[in-house]
Amino acid sequence: MPSTRTAALAAVLSSAASVVAAFTSPAVTSSATSKKSTTSIYSTVDPSVVTKKEYQDICGVDFDDRSMQDRLRKTSYLYPKHVEVIEDFEPLVNQMVDDILLETGEKAWQPQDYLPDLAADDWLQQTKDLREAAEGIPDEVFVVLVGDMVTEEALPTYQTLLNTFEGCDDPIGTTDSAWAKWSRGWTSEENRHGDLLNKYLYLTGKTDMRAIEVTIQHLITSGFNPGARKDPYRGFLYTSFQERATKVSHGNVGKVAKDYGAKDLQRICAKIAGDEGRHEKAYQSFCTEILKRDPDGLLMEFGDMMRGQIVMPAELMTDGKDAQLYENFSAVAQRLGVYTAIDYAEIIQHLVDHWKLGELTGLSPEAEKEQEYICRLPTRYKKLAERSMNKKKDDVVELNSFSWIFDRKA
């Protein structure tokens, strides 16, 4: 038989008015009664009506942030061993937060540092100088620059991805773990890249910003699946590769910009590439720590990932018109030498060398097979890339129109 107090509680919960009273702070109730505005909304239970234990018995959950974190930590994982490994080197992650990430606020670089100051007396001349330098940049460079910028602007998708890695998530949005602090700090730094490139393109007047904005919205809506499968090992293998790829791409765009006299764009690309280089160092360090603790596990995941292909973050981009937009953008980047199949092979080689994968010993027979496969992969990819690129030299270049540059062909 239910107790008198439990029966009374059921009666309280059956009444909407009573529920409001029970789960609202007396201060809020008083404020509402006196028609005074309040900015505080309380999520605590009024102990005079419902005790915490009774709340938990009925709802099955606790209701404060600390209890939520504890509860989530006890939840079954898909990769419990992988979670245990990454938890073991959490102190290193704290070090990366301090040593790799920049200070925020006034001490950090911001997009405005590299753009005309529209509040300055000579704002018009600053803007004219930027536009004059941009006049000499070919459409092909702008196509690649827009593609890179659209990729950076899909940042909400990437933070969402980080939060899917088991053991590395930020369940309440302000979690005080090293992994959550890294995720938020990384996101805050990456956020500047899209802002800076977006504003630069707007000021040049050479691109159709509405078409670009449509593409950004489509890309964020479409999402992104790099095949990480919630596994932190696969997640950090992916980011180790991808951060280096973006560093290479931005750096090469900057070199091309310099060739055409656009020194301001060169500085912008170099600054962004510098960020990507710092982030690359951190993610590759995470994988180094995993190798120290579970080399078999990381090699098995790395080999499995490389039997597919590393998915580029903007693969699902579309402007709503060109169904092959990503492929056409990639073809332009390849012709310019900004990011090629050779770069792809060289990134794999860099990772093999950086992690000294060929020197690992004491592996299981299965991991040894993956070790051999991965170490041979860069040479195989490079040969295929060179053969493909040599073949394409004789092909007639097919130009495609891009809405990003007002349907001009590139």
Which residues belong to the active site?
109, 152, 190, 193, 243, 246, 275-276, 279
Bridge partners of residue 408, in order along the sequence? 402
For 203, the enclosing helix (H) or strand (E) is: helix 178-204
Count the helix, strand and coil residues of the chain and give each as a percent rounded to the nearest 5.
70, 0, 30
Amino acid at 111: P
Residue 350 labeled ligand binder: no
Residue 368 labeled ligand binder: no
d(CA 208, CA 198): 11
d(CA 337, CA 314): 18
Among residues 87, 78, 85, which one has the least CA distance to residue 297?
85
Please tell me what DSSP assigns to residue 167: T
Output the six-digit token pair for 116.
């005309």
For 401, the enclosing helix (H) or strand (E) is: strand 401-402
Residue 103 labeled ligand binder: no
CA quadruple 281, 286, 289, 290: dihedral positive or negative? negative
Among residues 279, 305, 304, 390, which one has the least CA distance to residue 341?
390
d(CA 131, CA 403): 20
Residue 193 labeled ligand binder: yes
CB atoms within 10 A of CB 232: 26
Please tell me what DSSP assigns to residue 173: S
What distances in angstroms separate CA 248 from CA 177, 254, 389, one per listed residue?
A: 31, 10, 19
Residue 280 labeled ligand binder: no
Residue 276 labeled ligand binder: yes
First to last CA, the chain: 78
Binding residues for Fe cation: 152, 190, 193, 243, 276, 279
Which residues define the annotated binding site? 152, 190, 193, 243, 276, 279
